[in-house]
Amino acid sequence: MTWNIVCDSSADLLSESRNDGNIRFFSVPLRLLVGEREFLDDEQLSVPQLLECMKEEKAASSTACPSPAAFAQAFSSADCSICFTISANLSGTWSAAMMGRELALEEHPEKQICVIDSKSTAGCMVLLARKAKALIQRGENLCFESICGELRIYQAALRTAFTLENFDNLIKNGRMRPLVGNLLHSLGIHVIANATPQGAIHVADKARGETKTYQAITKLMASSKDCTRAEVVISHCQNLPGAMKLKEQILKDLPVKSVDILACRGLTSFYAMEKGLILGY
């Protein structure tokens, strides 16, 4: 039996590096629209080039979700597929994946396909993909429906937090007044936010300077759930030094199992902007 684990490109994972025997990983790319230019969030995308174009563009930039056909193609190439998407409150990607599921089942009714709204992005989707692989590899004791059920329970226990230093995209898209954004930037104030259980964004705190920001993040993490033995994934946008410092702070303050660091791909860079950090745990 063959399995596909499918994520949209907000998962910060690449297709080619995650295949393992009968379990294959597929990343379905979103599109990023900056002025007259369109970037496909695939393995060839240059994130620094994307950020530079966004910086130079005066008008608001936007994103476009993958087509249902792109998901259907991924689902059709295996006996069983499990798909995780960026929060349905942030994108139409979940709806596109559900339509892709219907397209695939019309042509291949024998296939088993599960689509789960991560109610998050980035690190949480990485953790879901890892959990799916581990459950599949356990094999004989779990049927497809049981695996999907365990993944939904796991998803509900995950949390997301992030911090921003650059507010240009929020200002251009009308989500923050220019005066406020410029003032926060000039004062070195970082916005700290998390995702609600429904997948919406909630501004939780503000802090000035790196150290206070990272301490505020670990405090937020501790208040949101019991982090004992939790796995943490940090996605950074052109900010490996900041990600390393945040990792040190998390390991110092919380009894987590592990902290991994990934570089943001296009979609997460689009939202986090330069030096932004996104945590899944």
State how far the Cα of 10 lies from the Cα of 6, in Å rounded to an integer. 11
Out of 129, 157, 185, pick the residue that ends a domain.
Answer: 157
How many structural domains compose the chain? Answer: 2
Q: Are residues 11 and 128 in the same domain?
A: yes
State how far the Cα of 81 lies from the Cα of 73, in Å rounded to an integer. 11
Number of other CB atoms surrounding residue 77 within 10 Å:
15
Of 188 and 88, the structure prediction assigns the larger pLDDT to 88
221: tokens are 């993490």
Strand partners, 113: 81
Of 194 and 87, the structure prediction assigns the larger pLDDT to 87
CA distances from 153 to 130, 149, 253, 259 (A): 14, 6, 26, 22
Out of 157, 174, 201, pick the residue that ends a domain.
Answer: 157
What's the distance, CA 268 to chain centroid? Answer: 7
187-213 pLDDT, tens digit each: 456 778 787 777 666 777 888 888 999
State how far the Cα of 238 lies from the Cα of 225, in Å rounded to an integer. 28
Q: How confident is the model at residue 19 (pLDDT cuts 50, 70, 90)?
A: low
pTM: 0.90
Q: Are residues 111 and 169 in the same domain?
A: no
Q: What CATH number did the domain enclosing 140 receive?
A: 3.40.50.10170
113: tokens are 């396909």
Q: Are residues 209 and 164 in the same domain?
A: yes
Q: Are residues 15 and 124 in the same domain?
A: yes
What pLDDT was estimated at residue 203? 73
What pLDDT was estimated at residue 22? 86
Out of 96, 125, 157, pick the residue that ends a domain.
Answer: 157
What pLDDT was estimated at residue 244? 98
Q: Are residues 130 and 180 in the same domain?
A: no
151-185 pLDDT, tens digit each: 999 999 999 998 887 766 665 655 545 544 454 45
Q: Are residues 259 and 272 in the same domain?
A: yes
Q: Is residue 40 part of a domain?
A: no
Strand partners, 19: none
Amino acid making up residue 180 = V
Q: Are 111 and 144 contacting, i.e. CB atoms less than 8 angstroms apart?
A: no
Q: Is residue 57 part of a domain?
A: no
